[in-house]
Chain A
């Protein structure tokens, strides 16, 4: 980026991140997660462990908060329900994974530019470049970045189990930050196929491991830039749009259940959640 380039295209480069920034997108992969049909069965999380070479860290490290699950099921109980040991209707579940923010807070704080925005609208993490400053993790409002405090690969996959490692993905070592990639290895394969066959990417041609494993199809994955994809249809149906946060929506229509987590922080998340409808409310 030369000075001449900056001066000539000043109005382009001065766009702030909240209004889309200066990214030129080919795709913007996104999700719609329906919390009403999510049963909290954790199969998405398990699939993620299997797909992305995630180490199982053990009880003690888990308690210290060093778990490496790129995708976790968060549990919430309503206050008035939380009487006795367990709430009557059980917890609310929320699969929490990297929201692949359009204006990500993790990106500008990286001192070595190991995390950056790809033309697919993803927050990429380049493991080779990461020096482990952990700024990104501390700046993430969703707490979905995980740091390798130990060389987990040494004891996570004892002898025959190392054969299960996915070769399309590196095994991360100690001192490296890692996060959900929206299964970049699958995106890569799908893109290679489309390039070979000289056609655009079809909706549903590939899925992330979590979306594929979900038994109730609560997770819908796709390209939000493609207006015909299932995701964009859902986004439109629930009137959720990309871009900066404008105002808190009035709950005028019960049918509109869509929201994005921490939308008011202006991070432009790529995942839309659909609220859970409780029986008592109906």
Chain B
């Protein structure tokens, strides 16, 4: 068997050599490793969040511009490594229009003790001692003429659907992208009318203009 396999590999290598005009064996093997890596890596290292089975996800990709924040907040550290629920900090998502940015006191609840030697935390502590809050910038901003409520979406897709709240980031990720892979949040989904409408049509959301436009 070994011999057959080797001969197959050798045949492949030689045919590649002829096709791509590669001269040395080193060149050929490195090219092959690159090909194998390109195929296998995305499947292993970037494991995507599963899409909840009761939702047909909205489609569309977007590359938003960088929104510099006063403190470079690492979402990945909090979500992926520490496994903190989105709604622990963005508390208002389940009961109001906006998801909300946590008050500095919530940050300080942990960071009085945790990681006090890190420069970002020291900056945060400075704000806290001055009695100011960092001026966080809004990343996912829908236009002023759009009425969007987080509450209704959380109710439909999490509370009513009996979806475990621990996995709520799977639902959040449908519109906010994989925030757990980002440091500072970036806009990865278009959040335009087509994006909303495709999801509304697929999941039976309202189609009346005045439900969202104001």
Query: Footprint of B on A, CB under 8 Å?
Result: 116, 118-119, 122, 124, 126-129, 167-171, 184-185, 188, 192, 195-196
Interface string of B134-163 (1 = CB under 8 A from A): 000000000011010101100100000000
Residue of B nearest to A171 (CB): B144
* B20 within 8 Å of A (CB atoms): no
Contact of B210 with A126 in the complex, beta carbons under 8 Å: yes
B129 at the interface (CB under 8 A from A): no
Q: Are A170 and B210 in contact (CB under 8 A)?
A: no
Task: Indicate if the CB atoms of A196 and B151 lie closer than 8 Å.
Answer: yes
Q: Which residues of B contact A127 (CB under 8 A)?
A: 145, 213
User: How distant is the Cα of A124 from the Cα of B214 in the complex, in angstroms?
Assistant: 10
Counting chain B CB atoms within 10 Å of each CB, the highest count among A116, A171, A192 belongs to A192
Partner pick for B214 among A170, A192, A195, CB 8 A cutoff: A170
Given known contacts A127-B145, A170-B145, A118 and B210 CB-to-CB distance under 8 angstroms: yes
- Distance of A119 Cα from B210 Cα, bound (Å): 10
Q: Does B1 contact A (CB under 8 A)?
A: no
Q: Which residues of A contact B149 (CB under 8 A)?
A: 192
Contact of A188 among B145, B147, B209 (CB under 8 A): B147
A127 to B145, CA, bound (A): 9
* A128 pairs with B210, CB closer than 8 A: no
Size class of the contact patch on chain B: 10 to 19
Residue of B nearest to A187 (CB): B210
Residue pair A195, B213 in contact (C-beta under 8 Å): no
Number of A-B contacts (CB under 8 A): 35
- CB-CB < 8 A to A184: which residues of B? 210, 214
Q: How far is the CB of A253 from chain B (nearest CB, A)?
A: 39
Within 8 A of A (CB), among B155-214: 155, 208-210, 213-214
- Do B152 and A195 have beta carbons less than 8 Å apart? yes
Choose from B151, B152, B155, B209 the contact partner of A126 (Cβ within 8 Å).
B209
7 nearest A-B residue pairs (beta carbon): A170-B145, A126-B209, A124-B210, A126-B213, A118-B210, A170-B144, A169-B214
B208 to chain A, nearest CB (A): 6
- Contact of B214 with A185 in the complex, beta carbons under 8 Å: yes
CA gap between A131 and B128 in the complex, in Å? 50
CB distance from A90 to the nearest CB of B (A): 39
Residues of B at under 8 Å CB distance from A?
A: 144-145, 147, 149, 151-152, 155, 208-210, 213-214
**Is the pair A128, B152 in contact by a Cβ cutoff of 8 Å?**
no
* Bound form: Cα–Cα A169–B147 in Å: 9
Docked complex Cα distance between A137 and B48 (Å): 53
Q: How far is B152's CA from A94's CA once the two chains are assembled, in angstroms?
A: 40
Expressed in whole angstroms, the Cα–Cα distance for A185 and B147 within the complex equals 9
Asked if B152 contacts A124 (CB within 8 A), the reply is no
- Measured CA separation A127–B210 after assembly (Å): 10
Residues of A within 8 A of B152 (CB): 192, 195
Are A118 and B208 interface neighbours, CB within 8 A? yes
- Name the CB-closest residue of B to A188: B147
How close is A97's CB to chain B, nearest CB, in angstroms? 18
Closest to B213 in A: A126
Chain B neighbourhood of A116, CB < 8 A: 209
The answer to whether B213 and A128 touch across the interface, beta carbons within 8 angstroms, is: yes
18 contacts across the A-B interface (CB closer than 8 A): A116-B209, A119-B208, A127-B145, A128-B213, A167-B144, A168-B147, A168-B214, A184-B210, A184-B214, A185-B214, A188-B147, A188-B214, A192-B149, A192-B151, A192-B152, A195-B152, A196-B151, A196-B155
**Minimum distance in angstroms from B147 CB to a CB of chain A:** 6
- Bound Cα distance from A57 to B209, whole angstroms: 29
For A185, list chain B residues within 8 Å (CB).
214
Contact residues in A for B144 (Cβ distance below 8 Å): 167, 170-171
Chain A residues whose CB sits within 8 angstroms of the CB of B151 once the complex forms: 192, 196
